Structure 1
Amino acid sequence: MRSTFMGLETAKRALFTQQSALHTTGHNIANANTPGYSRQRVNFGTTTPFAPAAMNRPQLPGQMGTGVEANSIQRVRDSFLDIQYRQESNKLGYWDSKSSAISEMENIVNEPTTNGLGAVMGEFWQSLQDLSVYPENDGARNVVLERGQSVVDTFHYLNDSLNQIKDNIGNEISVSLDSVNSLLQQIASVNSQISDVEPHGNIPNDLYDRRDTLVDELSGYIDIRVTSIKSEGDPADEAEGLYNISIVGANGKEEILVANKDYNQLGFSNGSGKLTTSTPDDVNQITIFSSDGKEIASKKLPLSDENGNLLFSQGRVRGLIESYGYSYQDSTGTTQVKGTYPEMLDNLDRLAYSFSQTFNAVHEKGIDLQGNTGQSFFGDLGTDHENASKRISMSDITSKEVAASTTTNADGDVNAGDGKNAVNLSNIQNWLMNETVTLDGFDGAESINLNDYNRLETASMNSFYEGVIGKLGVQGLQANRLAGNSEILKQSVEEKRMSVSSVSLDEEMTNMIQFQHAYNAAARNITMVDEMLDKIINGMGLVGR
């Protein structure tokens, strides 16, 4: 037989449950502007009906409901959208870092403008053409010297500026790895807190939000895979468990970074166990360290294969490494350096070397204003083009020693009206550097084997530099386009995720009214049951008195 007070208990459960829903609604409203917060809801469920199934159950025509209870308080979240968001965040981190690095390079190179290296070299070639018309004019000769010094200064400026930006990117790599390691540590710490709560059947929604915010941020730096592991003890069905996080390489290989409460770190090893980076030659693998900073020898992540193709995980860190540069062993065992900034610096070195050494070779064939054979116009760079854009310099040459002529008079004096070697010098810009060129204006056959100074392969100086600038422009355009596309896709997924998880004040106000009415109705039900009990207790058994 059911209890006389069964209706009172049913109404009381309704009061408490609706009160829980109102409290949860208030929590949502309070966190409407909290970053990373996911709205929460109370999962209502009916209580065990009367009579329960049993051998001694009363003979009733059916079961009678006993009310409602709050089964759990659960956050509203779509895990599929979380995966999508992290994928787009990862792409954006990569292309944004690439775009930023290339944009800084474009600002330094400053092409095509009237202030870039191309314009400065163009003015130098023009000064030589002017000298060929007035080879005896001291003013024209001084202009050639000044224009030559401008070319040298421009090479120095480009080398210094690009190296400075490259060093800044190297520092940014270290800072990014520090951020990654900090995030890994925080995620492991939140995992630990969750593992203390879930075994008791509680659902730590706010800790889930904090952990997912950290994972979202981490996904911008490296490509990660998140798997959920059930907590020990007796967790609720809605409990989300602990996160295990792996870094995913471009070849699909995974390495565990966070395992429950434990975490590892990423970094470059310089032999002392510290996380550091200095030059592209040192950047050839990422090493995994334990949480106490000890290198795990079995977990070294090579950055690239023997063809120089990066194997490291997609994301911001990879974009920075590609810009800064990295080294690898090719199929012959030779160490090679690859990367946006090292390649640009190498191209400038090749151009500076080929330009200065070829110019010297032609200049030394000519005759100066004093009738002497020409000397070196630029300083000798030896046979190695490495760092030539920094080492290039003007030789100690005067205006009278500019060898603009090719012939002398019968008495041995310079032919003042002969500026043919200045023409040869101005034509250097268009010579294909893999050929032997015959010089004009000399009595005998004078030629230059350009292969002796060629570091540009089959191109001329003009076409080589135009190709370098053209490639930079294409890379910049691609990086900007894909960064923009990734930003749009990330924003689109974020809007979908917010439509599911974010707090809508209008919706919460509607829920508040709904729960308030239900609470009032439950209270009215208690009043009704109270009146019934009052009639039974105080109004029955009075007949005949």
Structure 2
Amino acid sequence: MSGLFSTLNTGVRGLTTQQGAIDVTNHNVANANTDGYTRQRAQIVATRPEGMPSMNNAVSAGQLGTGSEINKINRVRDEFVDYQVRQANSVYGENLVQQKAFSEIEGAFDEPSEDALSKDFTTFFGNWSELSTTPESSSARTVVIEQAATVANDIRSTYKNISDIKNNTDGLIQSTVFSVNQKLNDLDQINQQIRRVTQAGETANDLLDKRDVLLDDLSQEFGITIDKDDYSSINLLAIDDGGKAPSGGTVYQPKLINATDTKDEKRLSYVNTITQAKDSDGHDIAGCYEVSYYENGDKTGAHTLKSIKVNMSASEKEELENNRVIVTDLDGNAIKNTDGSALSGTVSYSDLYVFKPRTGELKGYSEIKGNVDKYLTKLNNVAKALAWSVNAVESGSDKIDDGKKTPPIFVNNSKAEYDTTSGKDVLKDGYYADTTAEDAITAENISVNKELIEDPMKIKVNKGTNADGKGDGKVATAVSDIKDALLMVQNIGGSINTRKDLVNGKGFDSDGRLNNNADGTTVPKFLKDLVDALGTQSQSATSQVNHQKSLLNIFEQNRASTSGVSLDEEMSNLIQYQHAYSASAKIISTVDELLDVVVNGLKK
């Protein structure tokens, strides 16, 4: 009788086990198309057998099995593949934002097209060549000055479009920092939930999936390191170069997620402005800056804006302007990069924890800003070289104040002021006296002298007269020939900082042309080289994105082959569990019949 009941219990356990396995299969099928879901597998084990050695057990032929049970429901996950995916994802994020930026910079230059700067230059110098043949022509002069205005406008427009890319990048950094902190907060909650579930003896498979999805998303923004702690919880650290080693210690790495002490977690903040610090009398403090930052990148309220005074050099200021991210504690205080303690008062830049990820979107944004600065600098070189060389040849002098006050073609629109008492714009004498005004011409402020737009006949075209008494057009010819003049354009901003610096190397020939400098390059060639270099970088960035995307796809496919749900496999498992369930039911039915024979047979 006890044997039959034991058999009945074994059958019931079989039913329960197979039912549980069917439930797991059902859960897998239901989530076959759920992003980030990891297929689960019921771990079926034999239950404790009867006949275990003890004082009260009689010797028997052998242990008698008591059935099966589901010991654990496992996620089928390969942690090494997860590591590969996240590493590749981080590099892909960096490459992708760079590729998009280079594409936008290319769009700003718009080469090659009818509206491109190179086309403007060709037309500009060509118009001067035509003017040299008809120097007395008012219409030819008008065409020249209008084309000069077109060149200046297009240079300014290009500069603005590229600058907008840099400004937009700052906005992307801020929104990324805000998004990162939200994900970190979600990760912290899920991490603690997983810890509690695991402490209770359960397996938090679905919560683990949610955590992995967040970790995957986070890895695209910067490289991450995960340290497992007790009860399936994790510590999360960034792979960055911001931390430093204290005396006799190891490099400090802040925990963005702390498994055991959530109060010690760190967050990222977005640097909004860097302005010159002032003393109590309102005077500038040399080398000291007021750094204001949005706590957690949150710009929704003024209460999130904090500031700290930082002593730093020009290069350190530039680095902070490009990175724009610092590490703060949960109270929003900037932290020290050697131990994570809160900073206050006036601090040294070397103590500030500036977030410098080695890979990821945030790294890409920082590099974008550096590249944008390089192209803006080169565009400034083009603007300065054009303005200085044309103005020099036009006036026949290496400085603007030549005693004749020859109206310059190109001016600095932030400095140029005009006298309108005559009914026309006339450049004020103060512009000629302020030699720094022309020196400060950039791609942002280059403009055409309104005086010449009002009266093109003031354009200096002739050096002298021909035998017939007409103008010789030699000045116009000399301006046209600037397109072939070898100048030290590449050194502008270095050893070349004024019109005098640019011209004095070789000066003018007898016809007023700029003499060549064998170590220099032409203005159109410098612009072409700039655009060619941009195209090469853009192609390289696209190639890197494609390569990294292919690599990432391989790793994701490897993960899907391990962790993804295969409906064919699940259906096969379902049939297997169904047959086992039916067999267990048949055993129960058979035992029921045997018990009926025993019980009802005794009545007879």
Q: Which TM-score applies when normalising by structure 2?
A: 0.76
Are 1:351 and 2:382 an aligned pair?
yes
- Secondary structure at 2:11's aligned position in 1? helix
Which amino acid in structure 1 is aligned with residue 14 of structure 2?
A
Structure 1 counterpart of 2:195: 195
8 Å CA contact retained: 1:349, 1:385: no
Structure 1 counterpart of 2:12: 12
User: Mean alpha-carbon deviation: is it higher for 141-150 or for 47-56?
Assistant: 47-56
Structure 2 counterpart of 1:422: 476
For residues 103 and 338 of structure 2, the distance between their equivalents in structure 1, rounded to whole angstroms, comes to 35
For residues 123 and 566 of structure 2, the distance between their equivalents in structure 1, rounded to whole angstroms, comes to 64
8 Å CA contact retained: 2:478, 2:513: no
Structure 2 counterpart of 1:88: 88
For residues 552 and 446 of structure 2, the distance between their equivalents in structure 1, rounded to whole angstroms, comes to 47
Structure 2 counterpart of 1:316: 361
Where does 1:332-351 land on structure 2 (aligned, <5 Å)?
Answer: 339-351=370-382
CA RMSD of aligned residues (A): 3.0
CA 386–45 in structure 1, closer or farther in 2 if over 3 Å, else same: farther
Once the two structures are TM-superposed, the CA of residue 375 in structure 1 deviates from its matched residue by 2.8
Structure 2 counterpart of 1:479: 541
Once the two structures are TM-superposed, the CA of residue 539 in structure 1 deviates from its matched residue by 2.4
Which amino acid in structure 1 is aligned with residue 572 of structure 2?
T
CA 114–300 in structure 1, closer or farther in 2 if over 3 Å, else same: farther
Counting aligned pairs with the same residue, the percent is: 32
For residues 12 and 441 of structure 2, the distance between their equivalents in structure 1, rounded to whole angstroms, comes to 83
Where does 1:51-200 land on structure 2 (aligned, <5 Å)?
Answer: 51-200=51-200
- Secondary structure at 2:63's aligned position in 1? coil
Once the two structures are TM-superposed, the CA of residue 210 in structure 1 deviates from its matched residue by 0.2
For residues 32 and 272 of structure 1, the distance between their equivalents in structure 2, rounded to whole angstroms, comes to 48
Structure 2 counterpart of 1:406: 463
8 Å CA contact retained: 1:81, 1:496: yes
Once the two structures are TM-superposed, the CA of residue 373 in structure 1 deviates from its matched residue by 8.0
Once the two structures are TM-superposed, the CA of residue 44 in structure 1 deviates from its matched residue by 0.3
CA 299–431 in structure 1, closer or farther in 2 if over 3 Å, else same: farther
Where does 1:293-308 land on structure 2 (aligned, <5 Å)?
Answer: 293-298=332-337
For residues 139 and 359 of structure 1, the distance between their equivalents in structure 2, rounded to whole angstroms, comes to 20
Q: Which runs of 5+ in 1 are unaligned?
A: 232-240, 325-338, 367-371
Output one character per residue of 1:449-499: Cα deviation in whole Å (capped at 9) or x when no partner.
899xxxx98332122112211111111001111111111111121122112
For residues 3 and 199 of structure 2, the distance between their equivalents in structure 1, rounded to whole angstroms, comes to 35
Are 1:378 and 2:432 an aligned pair?
no
CA 457–259 in structure 1, closer or farther in 2 if over 3 Å, else same: farther
Residue in structure 2 matching 1:244, options 230, 235, 255:
235
Structure 2 counterpart of 1:237: none
Which amino acid in structure 2 is aligned with residue 291 of structure 1?
L
Output one character per residue of 1:209-267: Cα deviation in whole Å (capped at 9) or x when no partner.
00000000000000001121112xxxxxxxxx011111012699643211116232112
User: Mean alpha-carbon deviation: is it higher for 50-59 or for 71-80?
Assistant: 50-59
8 Å CA contact retained: 1:421, 1:441: no
CA 387–376 in structure 1, closer or farther in 2 if over 3 Å, else same: closer
Are 1:519 and 2:581 an aligned pair?
yes
For residues 514 and 115 of structure 1, the distance between their equivalents in structure 2, rounded to whole angstroms, comes to 70
Structure 1 counterpart of 2:447: 393
For residues 213 and 358 of structure 2, the distance between their equivalents in structure 1, rounded to whole angstroms, comes to 20
Residue in structure 1 matching 2:595, options 529, 533, 537:
533
CA 71–189 in structure 1, closer or farther in 2 if over 3 Å, else same: same
Once the two structures are TM-superposed, the CA of residue 8 in structure 1 deviates from its matched residue by 0.8
8 Å CA contact retained: 1:288, 1:300: no
Once the two structures are TM-superposed, the CA of residue 160 in structure 1 deviates from its matched residue by 1.6
Structure 2 counterpart of 1:331: none
8 Å CA contact retained: 1:350, 1:385: no
For residues 72 and 92 of structure 1, the distance between their equivalents in structure 2, rounded to whole angstroms, comes to 37
Residue in structure 2 matching 1:462, options 520, 524, 544:
524
Output one character per residue of 1:402-430: Cα deviation in whole Å (capped at 9) or x when no partner.
222111479xxx95241222121112122
Residue in structure 2 matching 1:290, options 323, 329, 334:
329
Which amino acid in structure 1 is aligned with residue 367 of structure 2?
E
Structure 2 counterpart of 1:226: 226
Where does 1:353-368 land on structure 2 (aligned, <5 Å)?
Answer: 353-365=384-396
- Secondary structure at 2:539's aligned position in 1? helix
Are 1:255 and 2:257 an aligned pair?
no
8 Å CA contact retained: 1:265, 1:288: yes
Paired positions, count: 498
Structure 2 counterpart of 1:369: none
Output one character per residue of 1:283-303: Cα deviation in whole Å (capped at 9) or x when no partner.
4563211223232234699xx
Where does 1:39-50 land on structure 2 (aligned, <5 Å)?
Answer: 39-50=39-50
8 Å CA contact retained: 1:349, 1:386: no
For residues 338 and 144 of structure 2, the distance between their equivalents in structure 1, rounded to whole angstroms, comes to 58
Q: Which runs of 5+ in 2 are unaligned?
A: 244-250, 274-290, 300-304, 306-316, 341-348, 398-403, 416-434, 489-502
CA 409–493 in structure 1, closer or farther in 2 if over 3 Å, else same: closer
Structure 2 counterpart of 1:328: none
CA 491–19 in structure 1, closer or farther in 2 if over 3 Å, else same: same
Which amino acid in structure 1 is aligned with residue 336 of structure 2?
A
8 Å CA contact retained: 1:222, 1:317: yes
For residues 91 and 497 of structure 1, the distance between their equivalents in structure 2, rounded to whole angstroms, comes to 18
Output one character per residue of 1:178-231: Cα deviation in whole Å (capped at 9) or x when no partner.
111111111111011111110111001000000000000000000001121112
8 Å CA contact retained: 1:424, 1:440: no
For residues 449 and 223 of structure 1, the distance between their equivalents in structure 2, rounded to whole angstroms, comes to 54
For residues 16 and 39 of structure 2, the distance between their equivalents in structure 1, rounded to whole angstroms, comes to 21
Once the two structures are TM-superposed, the CA of residue 386 in structure 1 deviates from its matched residue by 6.0
8 Å CA contact retained: 1:437, 1:450: yes
8 Å CA contact retained: 1:420, 1:441: no
For residues 132 and 524 of structure 1, the distance between their equivalents in structure 2, rounded to whole angstroms, comes to 108
Once the two structures are TM-superposed, the CA of residue 516 in structure 1 deviates from its matched residue by 1.1
Once the two structures are TM-superposed, the CA of residue 145 in structure 1 deviates from its matched residue by 0.6
Q: Which TM-score applies when normalising by structure 1?
A: 0.84
- Secondary structure at 1:288's aligned position in 2? strand
